[in-house]
Amino acid sequence: MAKIKAIEAAVQVLEKEGVSITFGVPGAAINPLYAAMKKHGGIGHILARHVEGASHMAEGYTRAEAGNIGVCIGTSGPAGTDMITGLYSASADSIPILCITGQAPRARLHKEDFQAVDIASIAKPVTKWATTVLEPAQVPRAFQQAFHLMRSGRPGPVLIDLPIDVQLAEIEFDIDTYEPLPAYKPAASRKQAEKAIEMLGESERPLIVSGGGVINADASDLLVELAEILNVPVIPTLMGWGTIPDDHPLMAGMCGLQTSHRYGNATMLASDFVFGIGNRWANRHTGSVEVYTRGRKFVHVDIEPTQIGRVFAPDYGIVSDAKAALEQFVAVAREWKAAGKLKDRSAWVSECQGRKNSVEYLRKTNFDNVPMKPQRVYQCMNRNLDRDTTYVSTIGLSQIAGAQFLHVYKPRRWINCGQAGPLGWTVPAALGVRAADPKRKIVALSGDYDFQFMIEELAVGAQFKLPYVHVLVNNSYLGLIRQAQRAFSIDYCVQLAFDNINMSEDEVSRGYGVDHVKVVEGLGCKAIRVHSPDEFNAAMKQAEAWMAEHQTPVVIECILERVTNIAMGTEIDNVVEFEDVASDKADVPSALAMLD
């Protein structure tokens, strides 16, 4: 064994654990890591414009492909605190990312040294593990433990904080014999699977709720197979959207207070049994426990033991990785089907399909208004984007309406920050998705405020040739907060429009406020402004041509009417609808309607 710097050992471990790209911002206290990466040459780096942006890029990278773990890097002090939002977002959605921070020398940690902060203590509530490594010889094993923890049980983020003198100290380390630690994942037993399938078999109107854990476990095919064997409809959660294609006969819509379909809520209310797999009963999916659980039994499968019974006590709980559980469920279901032990559920499936295809349960999208209604923008997206499109979004009316009107057909094609919902997440997350996959079609979706939060990260896309399309729906409002303020009879401090002295009288009269086109182009990207539905198709073609030639992000800014209320409510049986129901074929969510 040869002596090497502790930080060089860390880089060797990162390579052995499969890291090939990192996101971050160099600084004095973390420069030894950058020097080691440059020396060894096996790990690339994308320079963010804001350290929070780097953490969201790491999230996007992880969420894009099974097995990925994004890595974000920052120096001491505010770099770590800036990345707390990314760690919170990753923790909330069970996303493994590794955050590496520099730190002041050990001897000065208690002396209020420049940019010395106890980042490990700050990060502990939003990570699986946060540590400041004080002994150089522990550095490679800290990284080994980090990857083991991120992959074991419920996935989640880890922070490793490295004092600069620890990084630079020499240690004995042999990378040639290094092996990653096997991940621990609990697995359902045969008896548990039999009991769960037996309980489902006793019901008349069962549903499967498919959560983000199914996607994390790369088990969507098994989920669909189980649903098809049992002939049971599926309601994906927002984080599980794509586990079953939107046009699959057993896809029964999403349920919830905001990101839901009318037919999804109606089907949930009509059910008598719910089989939850890899979900956590989030409150925006359930509304009140009383309404959600009334009249139905529940089986809950989750990889994290403390999730079982956290929101409400299920009738039966199973602690298991979603893939391991689904393998058992599918095996039992196949045997029971062969033995003729499964009920004929064709009438229940037909009832659910009837709701999904009835105009009574569809929201109207076919508006011709100028300025545009957001509903029409999503119709335009459905008609101009293919089944393999990956959508990236975070929070706001743009995301809520997107979930109500867009269509997703594959896992990891809806990349969404679910529980935390930090504004500004979308741009850097989309760049992280692009870094993970250079080829897929990526379309990000933002309202104007989310877009303005971290707009500077577009320069990263220009510099590092990370092209994607960003649909910006601009109503110059904090739309979701404005709608929420209706309960207080106010419209206070949520308007973003102002008289921009650098814009023409016509532009000012339309109430843009920020000139996004100029800002985007100033950051090295392309921007196209769209005022009517007829212009969207041409804008998308122009964006594709631009990206093919210049390899930078393209923003399509759709100018909306100032005020549009989007359907939402206080309970799944009390969602307020603000617009007319669907009125013609253009509103029907089918492949035929999208192509005509």
**Catalytic residue numbers, as ranges:** 25, 51, 423, 478, 481
Q: How far apart are CA 522 and CA 548, in angstroms?
A: 20
Local structure of 297: helix, strand or coil: strand
Which residue(s) pair with 300 in the sheet?
276, 317
Residue 530 CA, chain-centre distance (Å), reads 27
472-to-131, 398, 448, 569 alpha-carbon distances in Å: 39, 9, 6, 25
Two structure tokens written together for 346: 């064709």
Q: How far apart are CA 62 and CA 97, in angstroms?
A: 7
With 0-12 CB in 10 A as exposed, 13-18 as middle and 19+ as buried, what is 582?
Answer: buried
CB atoms within 10 A of CB 378: 23
Instruction: List, in sequence order, every beta strand (DSSP E) within 87-205.
Output: 97-103, 129-132, 158-163, 170-172
Q: How far apart are CA 23 and CA 460, in angstroms?
A: 10
Per-residue 3-state assignment (H helix, E strand, C coil) for 564-581: CCCCEECCCCCEECCCCE
Q: How far apart are CA 60 and CA 435, in angstroms?
A: 9
Q: Rounded to 5 degrees, what are φ and ψ at 27?
A: -165, 170
Two structure tokens written together for 360: 């009574």
Q: How far apart are CA 461 and CA 430, in angstroms?
A: 9
* Nearest Cα residue to 212 out of 317, 125, 90: 90
Under 8 Å between Cβ of 139 and 100: no
Q: How far apart are CA 255 and CA 245, in angstroms?
A: 16
* Nearest Cα residue to 398 out of 455, 279, 483, 466: 483
182-to-14, 146, 148, 185, 322 alpha-carbon distances in Å: 16, 12, 7, 10, 18
Instruction: Give buried/exposed letters for 107-139 (b at 16+ CB in 10 A, else e).
Output: eebeeebebbbebbebbeebbbbbbbbeebeeb
- What is the C-alpha radius of gyration for the chain, rounded to an integer number of angstroms? 25
* Nearest Cα residue to 160 out of 47, 72, 223: 72
Under 8 Å between Cβ of 203 and 343: no
Tell me the CB-side half-sphere exposure of residue 222, using CA atoms within 13 A: 22
Could you tell me if residue 534 is left (phi over 0), alpha (psi between -120 and 50 degrees) or otherwise beta?
Answer: alpha
